[in-house]
Amino acid sequence: MAFLNLFQVLLLLSLAASALSTRPYKNGLTPYFYDFVCPQALPTIKRVVEAAVQKEQRMGASLLRLHFHDCFVNGCDGSILLDPTPTIDSEKRAGPNSNSARGFEVIDQIKAEVDRVCGGPVVSCADILAVTARDSVVALGGPWWKVRLGRRDSTTASRTTANLVIPAPNMDLPALINNFKRQGLKVKDLVALSGAHTIGFAQCRIYRDRIYNDSNIDHAFAKNLRYSCPRTGSDTNLASLDPTPAHFDTLYYNNLLTQKGLLHSDEALSTGEDALELVKRYSYNYEAFWEDFAKSMVRMGNIKPLIGNQGQIRSNCRRVN
C-alpha cells in the first residue's frame, strides 16, 4: 500500500509538471500545443521541409519569407495562403507577393501530410507557416528555436493591407524602423530579421533602382549586377541576396559593411548608429546573430495571433472552410 501511495504521488507530480510545461504563454501560444493531440505533427513538417529544400535549396528562403509576409499583415494567421475568391481579396495579388511569393505547393503538401498523421485538421495553416520557417532555416545551416504554437487561421485576407505594411525594398532606415515599430518590433528585431536575406534571391525589378541610382553602393558590385539586370527588361532575372544564398551565415552583414547590400533597404541598415553597431556585431559573431534572430522570430511569430475560438482550423490552407 505504501508503494502504491508513493506511485500515486509521483504520478501526480509528473502530471503537474507536465501541465506547467504545456501552460500557454501570455498570448495563448506554447511550444507544446500539439504534444498530446498530435505528437507526429512537427516531425512530419520537418520531414517535408527537408525534402523540399534538398530538392531546391532556394525553397528554404521562399518558405521563410511566407511567414514574414503573413505575420506583417494583420498578424500570423495564414491569410497569405488564401486564394482569391469573390469574397477574398487575396494577399497573393499584393505588390510584394505577386509573381514573387512562392512555396505554396510545399505548404499544401505539408498540410496534407500533417492532417493524415493527425487524423484530421488539427494543425492550423498559420502554425504550419511558423514551424516551416524555423525548419527551413535549420535545413540551410541556421539556428533552431522553440516555435510557440496554437494559432488559428483567418477567414479573411487583405491585399490592401499587404500593400501598405509589408516592408518595401526601397525603404530607408527611418521608414523601416517605423514599419517594424508598428508591429511591436524594435531596431534589434529589424536588423536581426533582415538577416533572413543571408539566404535566397531577389528579382531584377526589385533591385534595379539601387544598382543604377544609389550612391552608397560598391561600383564593381553594381557594374557586375547590371549585366543581368539592364535598365529595361529582364525583370525576373535573379541575383543572390548574399554570396552564399543557400547557407545561413553572416556574409549578408559583411556585405553591408562594404556597400554590397543588394537591396536599398538592406544597405539602409548601415546608415544609423544603433543599426550599424548591430550589423558590425553580427558580421563577426554568428552566435550573437543566431541568438538574436531566433528571439526576433519568436517575437514576430507573436504578432496578433488568433487563439481560442477565433478564426478556424482550415482543412485546405488555400480556402476557408
Return the sign of the alpha-carbon dihedral for residues 9, 13, 14, 15.
Answer: positive
Tell me, rounded to whole angstroms, the distance of Cα 309 from its chain centroid.
Answer: 25
Distance in angstroms (rounded) separating the CA atoms of residues 51 and 67:
19
Would you call 201 exposed, middle or buried from its count of C-beta atoms within 10 A (0-12, 13-18, 19+)? middle
CA proximity to 35, closest of 122, 116, 133: 122
Environment class of 111 (CB within 10 Å of its CB; exposed 0-12, middle 13-18, buried 19+)? buried
Establish whether 247 is a catalytic residue.
Answer: no
| DSSP, res 321 | -
Phi, psi of 132 (to 5 degrees): -60, -40
From 67, 69, 197, 264, the catalytic residue: 69
SS (H, E, C) 105-169: HHHHHHHHHHHHHHCCCCCCHHHHHHHHHHHHHHHCCCCCCCCCECCEECCCCEHHHHHHHCCCC
**Rounded distance, CA 315 to CA 108, Å?**
10
Alpha-carbon span 305 to 150, nearest angstrom: 8
Q: Which residues participate in catalysis according to the annotation?
A: 69
